[in-house]
Amino acid sequence: MARLAGKIAIVTGAGIGIGQAIAKRYAAEGAHVWVTDINNETAEQTVADIKASGGAATAMRVDVSQGQDLTALIRNVASAHGMADILVNNAGILIRGEVRSLTDDEWTRLREVNLDGVLRLSRDALPLLRKSKAGSIINISSIMAGRGLRPLAAYTATKGAVTALTKGLAIEYAPFNVRVNTISPGYIETAITDRMLRLPQARKMLTDKTPMGRLGFPEDLTGAAVFFASDDSLYCTGAELMVDGGMAAGL
């Protein structure tokens, strides 16, 4: 039996990469997935792929940094289903650069997408998730969240805040039977990491630092995402699961 049969899931940043892989896996496990992305074309393509495989999904353009987009998303999900079971806060951006040269606009954009969007959507979705018998919020952070990384100090700061926010929300939302957990990926082959991984020396360095001897793929995250979304994790909240081939253990 599909592990997410009958569940309603919202996945942000699901047009490509990790979000897309999670959305497709959720649909294959029986969920109706709301595929949201700032790029409507990629969201629509993900939904088309899901439907071609026999799954159920709805596409919607959402910029998680814009409050009106989040309000519209919650309103549409409420109108269609009256509730939600799963929220995956995956949407994120990466801006490289030393902090001393980071502009205020760049920092604001990083914070609004990577952190503010997570907080706002977790807040706004709570009334829908409370109607589920086992609501689950899954925040996508990073193994670098608690580490300094040049030239990504600002990025890692936002991810560190997401990890901390997860723990606070886990305590706050527990009385409502809503679990909140974090998945922290290692280096995954996505559009965000493509620029760096195209450099042979960078790829070799990161692969050498990964005990399992390879970098990850978006599909490597989907098992953890299903676990936290399913009833298998009913007594699990405030947890952080590293999906990194062992990299964090050796750092």
Q: What does the angle CA 137 – CA 175 – CA 81 come to, to the nearest 5 degrees?
A: 50
Taking CA 89 as the corner, what is the angle to CA 120 and CA 37, rounded to the nearest 5 degrees? 95
**Residue 1 falls within a domain, yes or no?**
no
In terms of Cα–Cα distance, which of 193, 208, 177 is closest to 144? Answer: 193
Parallel, antiparallel, or unpaired for β 86-89 and 8-11? parallel
pLDDT for 1 equals: 63
Task: Specify the range with the lowest mean pLDDT, choosing from 146-155, 208-217, 234-243.
Answer: 146-155
Asked if residue 180 belongs to a domain, the reply is: yes
Comparing 196 with 157, the larger pLDDT belongs to 157
Question: Whole-angstrom Cα distance, residue 156 to residue 158?
Answer: 5
Q: Which domain holds residue 23?
A: 8-250
The predicted-structure confidence for 146-181, as pLDDT tens digits, reads as follows 777 778 899 999 999 999 999 999 999 999 999 999
To the nearest whole percent, how much of the chain has pLDDT over 70? 99
73-116 pLDDT, tens digit each: 999 999 999 999 999 999 999 998 899 999 999 999 999 999 99
Residue-averaged pLDDT of the chain: 95
Task: Please report whether residue 40 resides in a domain.
Answer: yes
Q: Residue 198: which pLDDT band, with cuts at 50, 70 and 90?
A: confident
The encoded tokens of residue 153 equal: 């100090």
* One-letter-per-residue 3-state SS of 85-134: CEEEECCCCCCCCCHHHCCHHHHHHHHHHHHHHHHHHHHHHHHHHCCCCC
Residue 58 lies in a domain: yes
CA dist 165 and 139 (Å) reads 9
**What confidence tier does 71 reach under pLDDT thresholds 50, 70, 90?**
very high
Tell whether 2 is covered by a domain.
Answer: no
What are the b/e assignments for 140-153, b being 16+ CB within 10 Å? bbbbbbbeeeeebe
- Calculate what percentage of the chain has a pLDDT beyond 90: 86
Is the CB of residue 39 less than 8 Å from the CB of residue 17? no
What pLDDT is attached to residue 251? 67
The helix (H) or strand (E) run that includes residue 185 is: strand 178-185
Distance between CA 113 and CA 226 in Å, rounded? 24
Mean pLDDT computed over 189-204: 84
Residue 231 lies in a domain: yes
> Catalytic positions, please?
155
- Residue 131 pLDDT greater than 70, yes or no: yes
Neighbour count for residue 125 (Cβ, 10 Å): 23
Supply the CATH number for residue 200's domain: 3.40.50.720
- Residue 74 domain-assigned (yes or no): yes
CA dist 63 → 13, 80, 133, 156, 179 (Å): 9, 20, 29, 21, 24
Q: How many domains, the chain?
A: 1
